[in-house]
Amino acid sequence: MENDRGGRLRRVLVLGWGAAAEAVLQELSAYITEGGSSGSGSASAVCVVSHTDQAAEADLRDVCTRLGFECVLKDGSAEILEQARRFEPDLIISASYRKKIPASVLDLCPDAINFHPSLLPKHRGCWSGFWSLFEGDAEIGVTCHRMLEAFDAGRILHQERIPVAADDTSISVYRKLLPVTGACARSVLALYFGRGLPDGEEQPEGGSYHFRKLPFDGLIQPEWSDSQVERFIRAMHFPPFKGASILIGGQQVAVDSLEACLCPHASN
């Protein structure tokens, strides 16, 4: 059932980090102007909570100064809960936030949503760009879903998708998904500030979940096919971080192409 709350001003709490959060905040800024871009609602206040360790490419303190939003940097769970309670949000948004948001925060308002960089239910959790490439997905995208305490498991509100190119790497996928995140936020915020958010659709059965650890310890496995090795090398490419390696004589040797891979592996 849709939630129609008319044109009442809303208070929006954003928990985020990095360039993906910046993309969402840029879309949210349209609703600070009179009437918002949807013409039927706007935000009276936006508070951004982020981590003390900021991303070099998108320091949210600078982003919020430019957009006129409050920004606080906190890492302690008790501090974050206190900040959220004091702010009294009507909407909670998560965008690339690097910690689990507890139920005590999610329960502060009826609408709590997350922007996740995969086409759920595939690739819940971490390293979604890597796994999309390594598993040979034809499409990548961004999902906005209602938040539960379980990671990336809530009802789906909206998805945006784009095709995967044959030469995509993790860093190119990351860059391509930033405007896709903005487009997804634009659609969902138009709903929220207009007629209200729908309940959303239950996620299909199945899917996958990936933990926050380096896949395969960054090492090419000897039993992999040529195509798996090639996909792994592309999926591990995210400078300045270390890329794919192979073990030769007990030593890790970096490789940047299938041709440079000297270890034996199965054919396609």
- Whether residues 59 and 175 share a domain: the answer is yes
Same domain, 148 and 235: no
The pLDDT of residue 1 = 30
What pLDDT is recorded for position 266?
40
pLDDT score recorded for residue 163:
98
Tell me what pLDDT residue 249 has. 84
Q: Give the pLDDT score at 6.
A: 47
pLDDT at 207: 82
Whether 246 and 177 share a structural domain: no
Same domain for 98 and 149? Answer: yes
The number of folded domains in the chain is: 2
- Give percent of the chain with pLDDT exceeding 90: 75
Euclidean distance between CA atoms 186 and 23, whole angstroms? 10
Mean pLDDT over 4-19 rounds to: 80
Is residue 225 in a domain? yes
- The reply to whether 36 falls in a domain is yes
Please report, for the domain that includes residue 15, its CATH number.
3.40.50.170
**Residue-number span of the structural domain to which 160 is assigned:** 10-193
152 plus 71 within the same structural domain? yes
Query: How much is the pLDDT for 37?
Result: 42
What is this structure's pTM? 0.89
Asked, for residue 64, whether it belongs to a domain, the answer is yes
pLDDT in tens, 123-166: 999 999 999 999 999 999 999 999 998 888 899 999 999 999 99
Q: Are residues 148 and 227 in the same domain?
A: no
Let me know whether 112 and 167 are in one domain: yes
| Cβ pair 153, 103 in contact under 8 A | no
Are both 77 and 127 inside the same structural domain? yes
Pick the last residue of a domain from 193, 227, 244: 193
CB-based burial, 17-48: b 16+ in 10 Å, e otherwise: bbbbbbbbbbbbbbbbeeebebeebbbebbbb
Please compute the mean of the pLDDT values over residues 55-61 and round it to a whole number.
95
pLDDT value of residue 115: 98
Q: Is 205 inside any structural domain?
A: no
Give the separation between CA 169 and CA 128, rounded to whole angstroms: 12
Do 42 and 172 belong together in one domain? yes
Q: Do 122 and 237 reside in the same domain of the chain? A: no
Q: What is the per-residue pLDDT across 18-57, written as a single tens digit (0 to 9) for each?
A: 999 999 999 999 998 544 443 446 877 999 999 999 999 9
Residues 220 and 167 in one domain: no
Question: 69-121, pLDDT tens digit by residue?
Answer: 999 999 999 999 999 999 999 999 999 999 989 999 999 999 999 999 999 99
Q: What is the DSSP string of 106-159?
A: HTTSSEEEEEESS-TTTTEES-HHHHHHHTT-SEEEEEEEE--SSTT-SPEEEE
